[in-house]
Structures are given as C-alpha cells and as structure tokens.
C-alpha cells in the first residue's frame, strides 16, 4: 500500500480528447508530453460527466502495467478562448461580470451536442435556462447528461434566461466553502 501511494504524483496538462460514450479519454502531460488515461469514473468522482478538449487539467497519476492513469482529478480549467468571438446573447458581459453572478443549482433537462444547445431547470424557478454549447465549452465541459446536477451563473438574454457559465455541482460546493 505504501509503495502504491509513493508512485502517485500530481501532473498538469491538457485534455487531448474525452469521449463520454466510450467512457475514457487522454490527457497530454505538460512536462513529459506523454499520454495519461482519464477514465469516466475518475471524472465523475470530480463531479463532471465530460470535459472539453484542450481544457487544462491537474490530476493525481499512478503508473500501471498499461501506462500512466489518472486516479483523481484535482482541478479543471476551461480551454483558453483567445480570439474566440463573443457569444452574442451574452452581450458585452466579461469574465469579471459573469464571475460576480450567483451560482444557481440546476438539473439538466436535456442537451444535444449536435444541435449545440440544451436546457436546464434551476431549482425553485419555473422557467428553463438555455445552455449554448460555446458557454458549455468555455466552462470546461464537452457535453451534459439529462438529470445531471450542475450550478449555473445565469443572465437575462434576448430570448430569456441563459447560462453564462456552467459549473459542476461538486466544484460549486468546493467554491462555496
């Protein structure tokens, strides 16, 4: 057991790809450039069902007979969106304004990656909240599952309430502490 713990170490890198349907993906480590397996269960233990390609990620890694494998997610940061056009419905809201919005607990009603949008229900509110795929990507997610618990920072858009940021339920709990 002690030998197993000694072989664990923290690694930072970027998500090469993650496929929630297959249940795994790979991280490219910053230092070694080597691939690290990221299993869906490890990601779910962090509170997310998916992660966006090129998201920054810090994980605890263990060497196995099959190679490096993530055993715990420490942190996920959304992909850098340098040069990405602003999302029209969010208007001129910058990151500071969005970060100042309250986190509202919600459940995903449905999300269709192919269509590029979906909806969530915020607890104790009757109206749906629109979630655009670009907001999801900029929040560090690749997809959402029906019934998934998340927290949203919500703004009033041209067509009603829309998510300006999506945060995993577990990550929101860590932020609130």
DSSP 6-49: HT-EEEEEEEEEEETTTTEEEEEETTT--EEEEEHHHHHHHT-S
The pLDDT assigned to 79 comes to: 84
Q: What is the pTM of this model?
A: 0.72
Q: Tell me the per-residue pLDDT of 39-52, one tens digit each, with 9 for 90 and over.
A: 999 998 888 888 98
Q: Are strands 128-132 and 67-77 parallel, antiparallel or unpaired?
A: unpaired
Assess whether pLDDT exceeds 90 at residue 98.
no
Q: How far is CA 40 from CA 29, 61, 70, in A?
A: 18, 15, 10
How does residue 37 score in pLDDT terms, banded at 50, 70 and 90?
very high
Mean pLDDT of 136-148: 90
Which range is most confident: 6-10, 29-33, 80-84? Answer: 29-33
How does residue 168 score in pLDDT terms, banded at 50, 70 and 90?
confident
Domains of the chain from N-terminus onward? 2-77 (2.40.50.140), 88-176 (2.40.50.140)
Q: Tell me the per-residue pLDDT of 39-96, one tens digit each, with 9 for 90 and over.
A: 999 998 888 888 989 999 999 999 988 899 999 999 988 887 655 555 666 666 677 8
Identify which of 135, 142, 59 has the alpha carbon closest to the alpha carbon of residue 95: 135
Indicate the Cα dihedral angle 24, 29, 32, 33, nearest 10°.
Answer: 70
- Stretch (H or E) spanning 72: strand 67-77
d(CA 78, CA 15): 10
The pLDDT assigned to 170 comes to: 74
Q: How far is CA 138 from CA 7, 64, 79, 134, in A?
A: 33, 32, 6, 6
Q: Which residues pair with 67 in a beta bridge?
A: 64
- Between 90 and 16, whose confidence is greater? 16
d(CA 116, CA 106): 19
Q: What number of H helices and E strands is found in the chain?
A: 5, 10
Assess whether pLDDT exceeds 50 at residue 3.
no
Extract the tokens encoding 20. 């929630």
The DSSP call for residue 33 is -
């Amino acid at each position: 057991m002690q030998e197993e713990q000694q072989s664990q170490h923290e690694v930072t890198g970027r998500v090469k790809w993650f496929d929630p349907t297959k249940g795994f993906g790979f991280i490219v480590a910053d230092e070694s450039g080597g691939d690290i397996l990221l299993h869906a269960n490890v990601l779910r233990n962090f509170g997310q069902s998916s992660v966006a390609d090129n998201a920054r990620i810090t994980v605890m890694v263990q060497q196995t007979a099959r190679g490096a494998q993530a055993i715990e997610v420490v942190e996920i940061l959304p992909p850098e969106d340098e040069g990405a056009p602003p999302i029209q419905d969010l208007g001129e809201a910058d990151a500071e304004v969005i970060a100042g919005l309250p986190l509202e607990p919600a459940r995903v009603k449905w999300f269709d990656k192919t269509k590029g949008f979906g909806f969530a229900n915020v607890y104790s509110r009757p109206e749906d909240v629109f979630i655009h795929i670009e907001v999801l990507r900029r929040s560090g997610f690749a997809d959402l599952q029906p019934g998934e618990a998340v927290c949203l920072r919500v703004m009033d858009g041209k067509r009603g309430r829309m998510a300006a940021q999506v945060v995993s339920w577990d990550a929101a709990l860590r932020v609130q502490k």
